[in-house]
Amino acid sequence: MEASAPAHPSPPAAAPRISQKTRSERRLAWMLCAPAVIAMLAVTAYPIGYAIVLSVQQVDLRFPEEGGFVGLDNYGAVLSSDLWWTDLFNTVMLTVVTVSIELVLGMAIALVMHRAIFGRGVVRTSVLIPYGIITVVAAFSWQFAFAPDSGFVNKLPFIAEDMDWFGDRVSAFAVIIMAEVWKTTPFMALLLLAGLVTIDSQLYEAAKVDGATAWQRFTRITLPLMKPAILVALLFRTLDAFRVFDTIYIMTAGAQDTESVSILGFNQLISRLNLGLGSAVSVLIFICVLAIAFVYVRGFGVRVEEGRPGR
C-alpha cells in the first residue's frame, strides 16, 4: 500500500449545504454497499441475536413439546459442567501452543523468503501448498500417517512400532497441533513477509557498518519495526485457532479429552439437537472471541483498521 494518508479527507460533518453531487455520490455509495452489508449482517448479527434468544429458553428438538423461558439456567448448566472447562482449557492451550510455534516458524520462513540468496520462488511455492489444501483432507493425511496400522510414522527409527498416537491425550494433541501448524503457518509467514518488505534495507547496512551482529540486527531493527505486522498476524491467527474444529473432528472427534469448545457447541446443537444449551455454548464462545479481540486491541494496541481478514 502507498504510504500516503487517506486520499480523500472527509468534508466537515457540519457543512451547511451538501451539494447535489455529494448527495448523489453518497446515495450511489450506499446503494453499492447495501447488498454486501445485508448479506454480512443476515448471517451474523441476526443469528447471534437469535442464539441469545435460544440460549435463555429450553429448546430441545427431541422434546419439542417442552420449552419456555428458563432465564440463565442454560448458562448455569454449561458453566458448572466440567466438560466446558476441560474444553475451554484444551482450546486455549491449543491456541497458545499452535500460534506460538507458528510465529517462530512463520518468521523463519518469512526471513528465508525475504533474504534468501536463491530459492525464494521454491519456498513461496511450497508454503502455498498447505494453504490450498482442504483442512479436512490434511487432517486425514496426518491421521493416516500416524495410524498404528497403516501409518509410516511408527516405522520411523526411534518410534515404538505399536505407538497408539490417538489413544492418549498428550500424543493426540501433539498430532493435532502438528496438523494445525502445518496448515496455517503459510498464512502467518505471508503476513509477516508483508511486514518485512516494508523495512528500509539501509537500516541494516548502517547497523552492519556499526558492527551489529545478525542477531542484534534482528532483535533491534526487525522485531521492533515489525511489531504492528506481528500483532495483526497474531490477532487473526489467535481468533482463527480459537475456533479449531475440522482437525479435531476428523482426528479424534473429541475422544481422549481432546474436545474444543467448537466441538462441544456442535455436539450440543447438531448431534443432540439441544438448541438451548448449544446456543448458550455458542454465545459463550462469541464472548470469548470478543474478549480476545478486546485484549489485543486495548492491551497490545493493535490497530485493527490496518489488519485484514482471511485465514
Site for another protein in 33-52 (CB under 8 A): 33, 35-37, 39-44, 46-48, 50-51
Residues 129-148 touching another protein, rule: CB under 8 A, are: 129-138, 140-142, 144-145, 147
Least Å distance between CB 210 and another protein? 20
Q: Which is nearer to another protein, 13 or 209 (CB)?
A: 13
Site string for another protein, 80-109 (x = CB under 8 A): ----------------------------xx
Q: Rounded distance, CA 47 to CA 107, Å?
A: 37
d(CA 154, CA 145) in angstroms, rounded, equals 9
Separation of alpha carbons 259 and 252, rounded Å: 8
* List 19, 93, 104, 126, residue binding another protein (CB under 8 A): 126
Closest contact distance (angstroms) between CB of 55 and another protein is 9
DSSP string, 185-248: HHHHHHHHHHHHTTS-HHHHHHHHHTT--HHHHIIIIIHHHHHHHHHHHHHHHHHHHHT--HHH
Interaction mask 166-205, another protein, x per CB under 8 A: ----------------x---xx--xx-xxx--x-------
Among 54, 99, 103, 251, binds another protein (CB under 8 A): 54
182's grid cell:
502445518
d(CA 59, CA 74): 10
Which residues from 212-241 bind another protein, rule CB under 8 A?
Answer: 228-229, 232-233, 236, 239
On whether the CB atoms of residues 54 and 282 are closer than 8 A, the answer is: no
Site residue total, another protein (CB under 8 A): 112
Q: Is 31 exposed, middle or buried (0-12, 13-18, 19+ CB in 10 A)?
A: exposed
Pick between residue 194 and residue 207 the one whose CB is nearest to another protein. 194
